[in-house]
Amino acid sequence: MGHVDVDAFDSLLGDEGQALLSALRNYDPARELATATRLRRDHPAALVSAALAQAQLRQRAVPKFGAEDAHRMYFTPNGVEQSTRTSVAAYRADRLAGFGVRSVADLCCGIGGDAIAMARAGLSVLAVDRDPLTCAVARANADALGLSQLIEVRCADVTGIDTSSYDAVFVDPARRGGRGRVFDPEAYSPPLSWAIEAARTTPRAALKIAPGIPHEAVPEDAEAEWISDQGNVKEAVLWFGTARPGMRRATLLPTGHSLLGAQLPDPEPGPVGRWLYEPDGAVIRAHLVADVAARIGGRLIDPTIAYITTDELRPTPYATAYEITDVLPFNLKKLRALLREREVGIATIKKRGSAIEPEHLRKKLRLEGGNACTILLTRSAGAPTMLLGHPAS
């Protein structure tokens, strides 16, 4: 089976495969059957199938890799899912290069999302994966992007690799098992404990892990960084050899704003002021809400809720600010009446610490009118509360 897959993939790299792939660049998957029928008149059926599958994978990869790279690269279904998006991979690669790292062992390289970014940052990369098709794809990607001088792909189990001659190790274990995402870090392949030991074999290391990792699972000699892109949390990284063991950091892409935790206690809670701030998910996951509150002189609206409030507007890249016009105990009838009176037809419903389902609420509100409003369902001083307002800018 493995050989059949690799042979089918290799056939795409020949002239006929390449011609098919460029013809399929903008093809419409909804017309797959008609397209396949037409192409099979002039090309072998197996090659047409492989090209169609690859063309679809490329389209799926565009949001991660951008159109230019995605249409030159190759993917497997798992590879496109599991690969690191360019923005995050490039940020991490630059950080490694900034530490003076020149060579890296990329243990679990997949189709090469990270290996490519590290090579582009000037590092020479040993890229290792145990799956033969994935390795063939990673190799084709290094060639297609002109990086084969910097990337050596090796098909092997990572647990047998000697990393002692590298400046750094990077590990991105497989986190999807047969039944979807794997939450237990010891169920990663290879397990997180193995990756941590591998990290300690070189002067520096970075391990990519799920952002939901419990803070207790972060080893004492690691710096933990949570990274978001466009406001969505993408991953956590355990860094070794950064001279900041025990640190927590939140980094927001694409701006690159990076907040280092000072291990502050939570600020005192207090009444909701005119401005409310929703911290970026990376800040929340890194447990740095107190640090953001300190920077803007804010207080929490409740000891258990990650909303910060101030009386004066204090813009920060680490949180989205809202101007609050109403603070009310939660009451559906009252909310409906208020929104009706204000002719609100467009509502953004957010929640933190409330059991209410925003879409369920939206239906019950039966919104009508030309005005917009942000509704925040939350808890203040322990009581279910609704805040009305709008984004600060």
Contact residues for ligand SAM (CB under 6 A)?
82-84, 108-114, 128-131, 134, 157-159, 172, 174, 189-190
CA 141 to chain centre: 21
Q: Which lies closer to ligand SAM via its Cβ, residue 20 or residue 136? A: 136
Question: Quick one: 190 or 298, whose CB is closer to ligand SAM?
Answer: 190
- Among residues 71, 65, 104, the alpha carbon closest in space to that of 88 is found at 65
Least distance to ligand SAM from the beta carbon of 208, Å?
Answer: 7
Q: Which of 236, 226, 201 is nearest to 105 (CA)?
A: 201
CB of 11 to ligand SAM, least distance (A): 22
Shortest distance (Å) from residue 112 CB to ligand SAM: 5
* Least distance from ligand SAM to the Cβ atom of residue 193, Å: 13
Residue 108 CB, shortest distance to ligand SAM, in Å, is 3
Classify burial at 321, counting beta carbons within 10 Å of its beta carbon; exposed 0-12, middle 13-18, buried 19 or more: buried
Residue 159 CB, nearest distance to ligand SAM (Å)? 6
Q: Is 296 helix (H, G, I), strand (E, B) or coil?
A: helix
Gap between the Cα atoms of 2 and 291, Å rounded: 51
Looking at the Cβ atoms of 20 and 111, the one nearer to ligand SAM is 111
Treating both helix axes as pointing N-terminal to C-terminal, what angle do 358-365 and 332-341 enclose, rounded to 10 degrees? 60
**Minimum CB–partner distance for residue 301 and ligand SAM (Å):** 38
Quote the CA–CA distance of 76 and 9 in Å, as a whole number. Answer: 10
Contact 88, 80 (CB under 8 A): no
CB of 189 to ligand SAM, least distance (A): 4
Return the number of the residue (131 or 225) whose C-beta is nearest ligand SAM. Answer: 131
Nearer Cβ to ligand SAM, position 191 or 270?
191
What's the half-sphere exposure (Cβ side, CA atoms, 13 Å) at 232? 5
Residue nearest to ligand SAM (CB): 113
Nearer to ligand SAM, 131 or 167 (CB): 131
Residue found by looking up tokens 């274990």 in the block: 173
DSSP state letters, 4-39: HHHHHHHHHTSHHHHHHHHHTTT--GGGHHHHHHHH
**First CA to last CA across the chain, in angstroms?**
56
Q: How far is the CB of 84 from ligand SAM (least distance, A)?
A: 4
Distance of CA 313 to the CA centre of its chain: 30
Q: Which residue's CB is nearer to ligand SAM, number 132 or number 358? A: 132
Rank residues 134 and 309 by Cβ distance to ligand SAM and give the closer one.
134
C-beta closer to ligand SAM: residue 237 or 388: 237
Q: Which of 388, 390, 344 is nearest to 366 (CA)?
A: 344
By the 8 A CB rule, do 250 and 362 touch? no
Q: Which two tokens stand for residue 340?
A: 């009706």
What gap in Å lies between CA 325 and CA 273, rounded to an integer? 10
| H or E element that contains 372 | strand 371-380
CB of 118 to ligand SAM, least distance (A): 10
Question: In the complex with ligand SAM, which residue's Cβ is closer, 114 or 291?
Answer: 114
- Burial degree of 175 (CB within 10 A; 0-12, 13-18, 19+): buried
